[in-house]
A and B are shown apart, each in its own frame.
Chain A
Amino acid sequence: MTRLRFEGVSKTFVRHLHGGASLPVLQQATFHVEGGECVVLTGPSGTGKSTLLKLAYGNYRAEGGRVLLQHGDHETDISAGDPRAVLAARHTLIGYVSQFLSVIPRIGALELVTTAAKAAGHDAPERCAQEMLARLRLPEALWPLPPSTFSGGERQRVNIAIGMVGRHPILLLDEPTASLDKANREVVVELVREKRAAGAAILAIFHDQDVREAVATRTIDVAAFAPQPGVAA
């Protein structure tokens, strides 16, 4: 079943502070992701891979086309940008693991993950959060501490834990393994496989080739959506 569908999506950034420079990034992006698939976006930096994920999360607005999230018999066009619809979709439909953890000053790692587990409706959210942090080998001594003082790899694992304890049927992963060692990358590979087995539709960016080969069911070269000079978006 198709969970996520891009239909003719175009995105251009206009930089008003730089003489109104127009930077077209995507043109007529059309593809879909089925439940149980892990579609990995490929292509050089700057070709719009992260932009596609941000469009799917309602973080960026599209000028043209639609980004449809399927739930039951309904579809939500998240690119339409109605704030309440986007917030509702993020709550129940779509999860996002970014490269960076936005840190809240005084909240401990375990509490952050527990809050996410609670939002996902787990029966024992704290135990569930502990299990996830243990799987990701975050030292127990760090659990009560706010991640603002953590290393890049430690923050990254908290971020993955937050995304993975959720039960969103659509999951967006933006280089979640960028600052992880091999052992931790393998844990992420396992987690992604489990999500797929549970029927989640996954759209991801992975730079490590070993991870990509281990999890991708399909790849999409984003170059196919590059704007053609002289063709209107």
Chain B
Amino acid sequence: MSETPLLSVSDLTKHYGQRIGCDAVSFALWSGEVLAVVGESGSGKSTLLSCLWGDLTPTRGTVHYSGADGVVRDMGGLSEAERRVIQRTEWGFVRQNAAEGLRMGVSAGGNVGERLMAVGARHYGAIRQSAAEWLTRVEIDPARMDEAPSAFSGGMRQRLQIARNLVTEPRLMFMDEPTSGLDVSVQARLLDLLRSLTRDLGLAVIIVTHDLGVARLLSDRIMVMCAGRVIETGLTDQVLDDPSEPYTQLLVASVLEVAG
């Protein structure tokens, strides 16, 4: 329990002029842990995710990542090239809109193989084989690997995006509302897949969602954000079953209960 956290975040803050994106966020994430960041639109959860990933430069605060080589890096101090290497190998990002996370003009197999080539794989047959395996794992028929993602349904595109990320066996995945915009039945299938993959692979995940059901199903811990600040944090079932902050109580009370 005392080992180094995979990710240590301290006082991470992003201001857009006068407006607060996220303010003084601090937390630690350990290997194999799934952390959900919940809150309504505009609560700052996507800004936080972008600051962690490196799309946005924070106004202040630090993100330290403990790499597979055991070296702890201050992500804000890395060069663009050094950061990209980590993003392509040890990290992954599943975007809400699959079209942003995929190359829509490249075949499904190419989308998966590309990340492997980026880490030095050169043998065409081996890359194709690996792509086929990952497509199967995310329940896409490998017979369709030469089709472009534009021919795929929303749920399939999302699963392809997951395969593209997982092929390099990352240690930390960022997910931004990966299931929103999908039909409920497609959502359930994707959630179930994410749940088994994170468990089987021992992945650490930071998932941003406005859906408390998604948080409950997938995450160990939860962070509730409101107006850019973290207002409540703890074990997922504890925060959702015994919320203490007024805003968290409002969020929990706003979920429709469907008799099971």
Contact = CB atoms under 8 A, between A and B. Distances in A.
Given A87-B235, A88-B1, A107 B260 contact: no
A83 interface: yes
Interface residues of B, number: 23
Interface string B217-260: 10011000000000000110110011011100110010000001
B40 interface: no
B73 interface: no
A14 interface: yes
B188 interface: yes
Contacts of B189: 105-106
Contacts, number: 56
Interface stretch (A52-60, A64-72, A188-196): A52-60
B220 A14 contact: no
Contact of B220 (A61, A87, A106): A87
Interface string A75-110: 000000101111110000000000010011111000
A10 to B, nearest CB: 14
Q: What are the 4 closest A-B residue pairs judged by CB atoms, nearest first? A: A16-B246, A83-B235, A105-B188, A60-B242
B83 interface: no
B30 to A, nearest CB: 7
Contacts of B249: 15-17
A16 B231 CA distance: 15
Contacts of B260: 100, 103, 148
B192 A85 contact: no
Chain A interface mostly: mixed
B195 interface: yes
A81 B191 contact: no
A83 B221 contact: yes
Contacts of A88: 1
Interface in B183-207: 188-189, 191-192, 195
A22 B238 CA distance: 19
Interface in A35-64: 54, 58-61
Given A84-B30, A87-B235, A105-B192, A59 B244 contact: no
Contacts of B238: 58-61, 81, 83, 86
21 contacts: A16-B245, A16-B249, A17-B246, A17-B253, A54-B242, A58-B238, A59-B241, A60-B242, A61-B242, A81-B234, A81-B235, A81-B238, A85-B1, A86-B235, A86-B238, A88-B1, A100-B260, A104-B192, A105-B188, A105-B191, A106-B189
A61 B244 contact: yes
Contacts of A60: 238, 241-242
Contacts of A105: 188-189, 191-192
Contact of A107 (B192, B220, B244): B192
B242 A59 contact: yes
Nearest to B238: A59
Nearest to A62: B242
A104 B234 CA distance: 22
Interface string B26-49: 000010000000000000000000
Interface in A1-33: 13-17
Nearest to B221: A83
A106 B241 contact: no
Contacts of B246: 16-17
Nearest to B249: A16
B9 to A, nearest CB: 16
Contacts of A106: 188-189, 192
B217 to A, nearest CB: 7
Contacts of A87: 220, 235
B217 A14 contact: no
